[in-house]
Structure 1
Amino acid sequence: MFNHSKFTRLFICVMLLIPLAISSTTFNQGSVHAKSEQNSLETSVISEVEKIIPTPQEVQYSESFLEIYTSNQFTAAIMLGEDSPPEDLAGAEFLQNGIERLVGHKIPILTVGDDISSYTTIISIGSVESNSFNKEMVSSHNLSIPENREGYIIHNVKENIKGKTENLNSKEDLGAQGKAFKNIVIVAGNQNIGSYYGSTSLAQMLKKSGEKVLLRGVTVRDWPDMEMRAIKDINNIEGFFSFDDGMDWMKFLPSTKMNMFSLCYTHLTESGWRNPSADYLNAVNEMANYSRDTGLIQFQHELNPGYTGGLPENDEEVTQLINLFKVSLDAGGESIMLAFDDQGSTDPSSHSELANTIYNTLQEDYDFTMVTVPEPYHFGYGNIISYLKEYTENLNPNIDVVWTGNELWSHFTTPEHVETWMSYTDPSYTKPPFYWHNDPVLDLTRSFTGWQQDLYYFEDHRVPFHGVDLTSGQYIWEEMQEYTSSGVIENIFRSTTAHQIYAIELADWMWNPDAYENNENTFLRAKRYYDTLIANPAHLKKATASSEFRYPYGPERAVDGITSRDNVENAWATASGVSTIDSWWKVDLGLVREMKGVRVKYREFEGKAYMVPKSVTVQVSDDNQNWRTVIEKSDHVPNEGDIYKSNPYSYEFQTNARYIRLLFEDGGFNSLIELSEFEVIE
């Protein structure tokens, strides 16, 4: 069942790449032609660190570039279809924001039918259903979009078209001058999410060269090997994920090409599943709504009733548990997890009966996936053989069963381990286990809360499967899609920037396991992607302040990506013995750019707000001399001493500026004012 021929797969991949190489020849010739017209454009061989992450299934990088911005104007525009879906728009905005970070201006976003006569390059984003121009290009150039719903292509052609794209079949020949020739970059998904993924890949090909912005030529045909690629949070002594952290991760993960966020059942530890708090229910609704409204990521709702108050004791409580799952499904969630791990009950029949009841009841009204975590979920449990046999004997075959590999922290799981697991299940249940990855690298961040928390990345450049020989063929990691029912879920444990960079590396493995390399280049690619396209625009920018306490409380601490908590002293603080009235903190973004506001994380200590200002005024400037106030003396700040979990406070406004200053005219409630993190809202 699990025999897999790498030679056969390699042969297929080579055969698939042959038409790719042929089709991309046209682009390479076009690039050379463009270079002859614009001799100032540079050429260069792409370095390993500059390559797309996650690694595409099929990709060819050109040495040539297209010029998209020069002499203070755009020579390129993005084009969407009419009534574009949110995924297409999100992809266009991701690319647009990446360019704005380089020059401080937004590339125009047009619609099919708009005048394109002033542009030499058009970047057309959308599926053949959402963008009629892409439909024409895909058809006329006989392009092959992967059948996988998340698949996409990036293809480059040179077209002689009129100034408008509304009449695609009416092309004109303008003679030797070729004034109507356009460089067309086609970003087309099988479905809308694929178009978004293609945009995130293309954005990684941007480059600043003097005052110009260039786009490296690249031809891509790409799709994921695994259907589900998920991150789960945790909220206990091991984790410290707030609901705001979870929402931030839901917005971050699509840029990595992960497609699911799972809200951990540990958020119900205090209240219990029978009496969920209003904050919990609001978070479930908000996350599920985001999934439904954007189409960028799925939301999974986890419940572990035995861990959070005890298993249902009667039919009425079973209905109550089902209704709690309905909260997320009604709001747009697409997956649920029923967990029996780390709780007292070891009765496999009652567990599978509860799982079946929940699934059979919900499937009448909802389209969703369901995974379950059995009480023994690795080989360290003495009852695993008898439990799995009885648990899976009558389990609905549509329900996935989770394991963490042969051990709790597994780096050396083999195909034989998978076969052993399946030999323990009932013969009627034929699915391989769904894989829950507890990474030993992340165990360090769980067990030792201060481990490398003074940096926004892991100092030793660790990547998933650190120290494992992935080329040995002994383990399942390179062919993970062959050894899981539908995908992988990762327990990330922390919400820090270091863990976000690590998640980019994980996504590289989950998307294309056999191309994943657990070396420093993967870390550097992930870090480059984070720094240039994902981090908020104030990240690591030059910060100054009216005063500072002492090392390590300098103003730069508020833009280093590290949230200050009990075990991490990482915040800007005003000087001791000096009045906090009229103190200020300022950041230089390096160029004038558009912004929609700012977010501030104030200081958290022992779970409470600490050293908080009485009010905050937000000012902006283009030249560091002339300031204009966009938020005046807002008292939207945490109350000193109140319960506080480092949740960000947003101050929304619309403006263009280079410098941002927070002014604390009323001083603070305590002897100092401290800021943990500052972000610009794009």
Structure 2
Amino acid sequence: MPVPTRFLAAVVVAGATAASLAIGASPAAATTAIAVPPIAPTPQSVTRASADVRVPGSAVLVTDSATDPAAKDLLTTLLQQHGARSVTTVAPGQPTGHGRLVVRLGGADRPDIVTALGSLTVPDQAEGYALRSPKPAELAVGGRDAAGQYYGVQTLRQLFVRSGGGWAVSGAAVRDWPNMALRGSIEGFYGPPWTTEDRLRQIGFLSEVKANSYVYSAKDDAYLRSRWRDPYPADQLATLGQLVHAAEAQHVDFTYALSPGVSICFSSPSDYAALTAKLQSVYDLGVRSFSMPFDDISYTRWNCDADQTAYGAPGQAAAGKAQVTLLNTVTSQFIKTHDGARPLQTVPTEYSDLADSPYKTELREHLDPSVVVQWTGTAVVPSSITVAQAQQVSTLYGRKVFLWDNYPVNDYEESAGRLLLAPYGHREAGLSQYLNGIVSNPMNQEAASEIAEFGATDFAWNDAAYSPERSWPLALSRMAGGDPRASAAMEVFADLEHLAPSSDPTPWQPQAPALAAKTASFWQRWDAGDHDGAARELRPYAQRIKDAAPVIRDGRVIAAFVDEAKPWLDATVLWGGAMTDQLDALVASAHGDPATAQRLTASADSLTTQAKAVKTGNTNPWGVRQALVGDGVLDAFTAKARTATVG
């Protein structure tokens, strides 16, 4: 998949920590601590090891038969888009010519890569990689496996920096690997589904952030759930194949999640035959990763009388026994007999608690140890996830668990009218000891989901080093194509869509924390009599709110995000106008200008009425609602300022 030019340049954020200088840097480089551009996900180790490597008009790739084709294609595209008009390929040991950039790409044990990397060894962990510049016009990327090579090139993508009128590659040395084996998203929300275009975009995004799992659990696909026995029509099967092939080409596992629990007769040979026939049909498309979820079903009744004979009266233990029998049979007779098939995944019926039960006992004691068990935390939408909780649930299920994280999904009533754009957070470093992965359940709005998903994949890759304060600005800047002005507007807008509801009465992320802090400071100064100082401090930020939507819409931000966020952007313009007018009215009143205060208050009132009338589209299960923007903060400030103005 070609890499859009908008994402090629490294994003440099204010406050990025300068990388340490390494031995072997040129004298010029050694005298100045030049920061390595920020890399996401956060690498295990990154230092500045050399001067930047200029990209000339010609480059040569040194590859062999073990070089990953996707990594090679991506590298070729990157070099061409950064000034190397000619990119040729030679085998190791062949001449590379003069005046050309040489890039060595391949496996960890290839002799020329080992030599080029020097003391920077490729990690032993799966998907690990190392990269560095051993000479002024040479780069080397070595991967432990094919995915490692690809991820090394994805890191290289973020190291291009402007150099004069052209481009260079930052002289970084990176040694990196993921802490969790499974990282990505699960399309598991209810309501209007993603389009094929949305799904293809999501797969491309996952590839970009080194995520390897896309779980296809689309609630709109009746052939996954209510019609699980029926074969796909040819056109739908072809569309699935398109997604599978796109994922495979970008090192993303397309996980097919078949949910037979709503109607299966566990003891029926014909139902088992129908189930394996469905799995075979998508295996033939190229699917190699499978899930069999049993979430959101009842275990207080059977779907057939034969199951009562086979497993006893319905209940926790009987349901556990029936599910374990099916999962173990599929594992032994399908997964282990099909080349390349990954370990089977499942979502247990008890997926959101820490209480032991006869059901969990059955899974703990009898489920094949290769089966991957998912868990959502201590609630369907938990306010936090701790290491202690993960340790406890891994004990309950007798294995590391796979976190199905219900953020930023917005298909439930508490999220009605909202985009959930707060950073991924409240997940404790160290979870990788007890989790083998994290998949984020996104919103009905695909592009908007990428902001929180960016953080989730960053955390899953390197939970020990994860920082929401570092990751969130990078996610927003990525959405803005690296443009500083658009990135700043995205930060203002995302702050207004910061509230994150949970299964608890209190949201786990507050609404508009940046604006709330500024308005609190304003009232403190205003009430102390420093009216002009208070206004000077707040007025520019109020203007930024008013201006955010036009900046976001001017072509730099991903178009799909702009389309999805339209109602909220429309409301932001109106709320920003109401805030600036009411603030100016308050100042006018304090300066003894009641006519101006009255005129501006009337304008603010009109804008507030218009803002409250902006509705979402029918894009979520909760239907058409008011598009909420900074609610409880922005509207509260405007109302308080109005009262202070007119009495």
If the length of structure 2 is used for normalisation, what is the TM-score? 0.64
Corresponding residue number in structure 2 for 1:25: 23
Offset at residue 287 of structure 1 (A): 3.2
The amino acid that maps onto 1:371 is: Q
**Separation of aligned partners in 2, 1:82 and 1:389:** 48
Corresponding residue number in structure 1 for 2:72: 89
Corresponding residue number in structure 2 for 1:46: 35
Alignment partner of 1:212 out of 166, 169, 172: 166
Offset at residue 433 of structure 1 (A): 2.5
SS of 2:468's equivalent in the other structure is coil
Check conservation: 1:204, 1:529, Cα contact below 8 A: no
Corresponding residue number in structure 1 for 2:42: 55
Alignment partner of 1:376 out of 308, 333, 350: 350
**Separation of aligned partners in 1, 2:293 and 2:387:** 25
**Separation of aligned partners in 1, 2:122 and 2:552:** 52
Does residue 528 (structure 1) correspond to residue 477 (structure 2)? The answer is yes
Offset at residue 606 of structure 1 (A): 7.3
Task: Render the CA deviation track for 1:297-348: whole Å, top value 9, x for unaligned.
Answer: 21211011124x5555721111111121222333332221111111223522
**Separation of aligned partners in 2, 1:30 and 1:297:** 42
Task: Render the CA deviation track for 1:51-76: whole Å, top value 9, x for unaligned.
Answer: 1111110110358422224xxxx265
Check conservation: 2:207, 2:252, Cα contact below 8 A: yes
Matches within 5 A, 1:89-168: 89-93=72-76, 95-96=78-79, 99-100=81-82, 106=85, 108-112=87-91, 116-119=96-99, 121-128=101-108, 133-138=112-117, 141-158=118-135
Offset at residue 480 of structure 1 (A): 1.6
- For residues 256 and 566 of structure 1, do their structure 2 counterparts lie closer, same or farther at Cα, with a shift above 3 Å needed? closer
Offset at residue 213 of structure 1 (A): 1.2
SS of 1:266's equivalent in the other structure is coil
Offset at residue 558 of structure 1 (A): 10
Task: Render the CA deviation track for 1:586-619: whole Å, top value 9, x for unaligned.
Answer: xxxxxxxxxxxxxxxxxxx979xxxxxxxxxxxx
Check conservation: 2:479, 2:557, Cα contact below 8 A: no
SS of 1:493's equivalent in the other structure is coil
SS of 2:260's equivalent in the other structure is coil
**Separation of aligned partners in 2, 1:205 and 1:107:** 20
Which structure dedicates a bigger proportion of its chain to helix?
2
Check conservation: 1:234, 1:493, Cα contact below 8 A: no
Matches within 5 A, 1:179-578: 183-234=137-188, 236-237=190-191, 240-269=193-222, 272-278=227-233, 279-292=235-248, 294=249, 296-307=251-262, 309-310=263-264, 314-346=268-300, 347-362=319-334, 363-366=336-339, 367-379=341-353, 385-422=357-394, 424-425=396-397, 430-439=398-407, 441-443=408-410, 448=415, 450-452=417-419, 458=421, 462-465=422-425, 468=426, 477-484=428-435, 486-519=436-469, 521-532=470-481, 560-562=559-561, 564=563, 568=567
**Separation of aligned partners in 2, 1:559 and 1:228:** 27
Check conservation: 2:202, 2:446, Cα contact below 8 A: no
SS of 2:127's equivalent in the other structure is coil
Offset at residue 526 of structure 1 (A): 2.5
- For residues 296 and 433 of structure 1, do their structure 2 counterparts lie closer, same or farther at Cα, with a shift above 3 Å needed? closer
**Separation of aligned partners in 1, 2:437 and 2:552:** 43
Task: Render the CA deviation track for 1:14-71: whole Å, top value 9, x for unaligned.
Answer: xxxxxx989x412x137749x9xxxxxxx66327xx31111110110358422224xx
What fraction of aligned residue pairs are identical, expressed as a percent? 20
Task: Render the CA deviation track for 1:126-180: whole Å, top value 9, x for unaligned.
Answer: 2246x66425535xx354110112111112212xxxxxxxxxxxxxxxxxxxxxx
**Separation of aligned partners in 1, 2:176 and 2:273:** 43
The amino acid that maps onto 2:211 is: M
- For residues 436 and 424 of structure 1, do their structure 2 counterparts lie closer, same or farther at Cα, with a shift above 3 Å needed? same
SS of 1:358's equivalent in the other structure is helix
CA RMSD of aligned residues (A): 3.8
**Separation of aligned partners in 2, 1:276 and 1:567:** 38
Does residue 65 (structure 1) correspond to residue 52 (structure 2)? The answer is yes
Structure 2, unaligned runs of 5 or more: 1-18, 301-318, 484-488, 490-549, 571-616, 620-647
The amino acid that maps onto 1:335 is: S
SS of 1:221's equivalent in the other structure is strand
SS of 1:275's equivalent in the other structure is coil
- For residues 511 and 109 of structure 1, do their structure 2 counterparts lie closer, same or farther at Cα, with a shift above 3 Å needed? farther
Check conservation: 1:402, 1:436, Cα contact below 8 A: yes
Check conservation: 2:59, 2:79, Cα contact below 8 A: no
- For residues 295 and 147 of structure 1, do their structure 2 counterparts lie closer, same or farther at Cα, with a shift above 3 Å needed? farther
The amino acid that maps onto 1:314 is: S
**Separation of aligned partners in 2, 1:111 and 1:532:** 33
Offset at residue 90 of structure 1 (A): 3.3
Q: How many residues are paired up? A: 467
Offset at residue 258 of structure 1 (A): 0.4
**Separation of aligned partners in 1, 2:294 and 2:181:** 24
**Separation of aligned partners in 1, 2:253 and 2:89:** 29
- For residues 89 and 554 of structure 1, do their structure 2 counterparts lie closer, same or farther at Cα, with a shift above 3 Å needed? closer
Corresponding residue number in structure 2 for 1:581: none
Task: Render the CA deviation track for 1:510-549: whole Å, top value 9, x for unaligned.
Answer: 1000100021x31222333454489xxxxx9xxxxxxxxx
**Separation of aligned partners in 2, 1:533 and 1:133:** 35
The amino acid that maps onto 1:45 is: I
Check conservation: 2:49, 2:132, Cα contact below 8 A: no
Task: Render the CA deviation track for 1:157-204: whole Å, top value 9, x for unaligned.
Answer: 12xxxxxxxxxxxxxxxxxxxxxxx53211111112211111111221
SS of 2:23's equivalent in the other structure is helix
Check conservation: 1:372, 1:401, Cα contact below 8 A: yes
Offset at residue 274 of structure 1 (A): 1.8
The amino acid that maps onto 1:497 is: A
Matches within 5 A, 1:657-668: none
- For residues 55 and 565 of structure 1, do their structure 2 counterparts lie closer, same or farther at Cα, with a shift above 3 Å needed? closer
- For residues 257 and 566 of structure 1, do their structure 2 counterparts lie closer, same or farther at Cα, with a shift above 3 Å needed? closer
- For residues 435 and 82 of structure 1, do their structure 2 counterparts lie closer, same or farther at Cα, with a shift above 3 Å needed? closer
Task: Render the CA deviation track for 1:416-435: whole Å, top value 9, x for unaligned.
Answer: 3234435545xxxx313222
Structure 1, unaligned runs of 5 or more: 1-19, 36-42, 159-181, 469-475, 535-539, 541-550, 572-604, 608-682
If the length of structure 1 is used for normalisation, what is the TM-score? 0.61
**Separation of aligned partners in 1, 2:94 and 2:482:** 28
SS of 1:492's equivalent in the other structure is coil
**Separation of aligned partners in 2, 1:437 and 1:554:** 31
**Separation of aligned partners in 1, 2:72 and 2:120:** 23
**Separation of aligned partners in 2, 1:533 and 1:123:** 26
**Separation of aligned partners in 2, 1:336 and 1:437:** 19
**Separation of aligned partners in 1, 2:562 and 2:229:** 32
Check conservation: 1:95, 1:200, Cα contact below 8 A: no
SS of 1:261's equivalent in the other structure is strand
Which structure dedicates a bigger proportion of its chain to strand?
1
- For residues 567 and 117 of structure 1, do their structure 2 counterparts lie closer, same or farther at Cα, with a shift above 3 Å needed? closer
The amino acid that maps onto 2:279 is: F
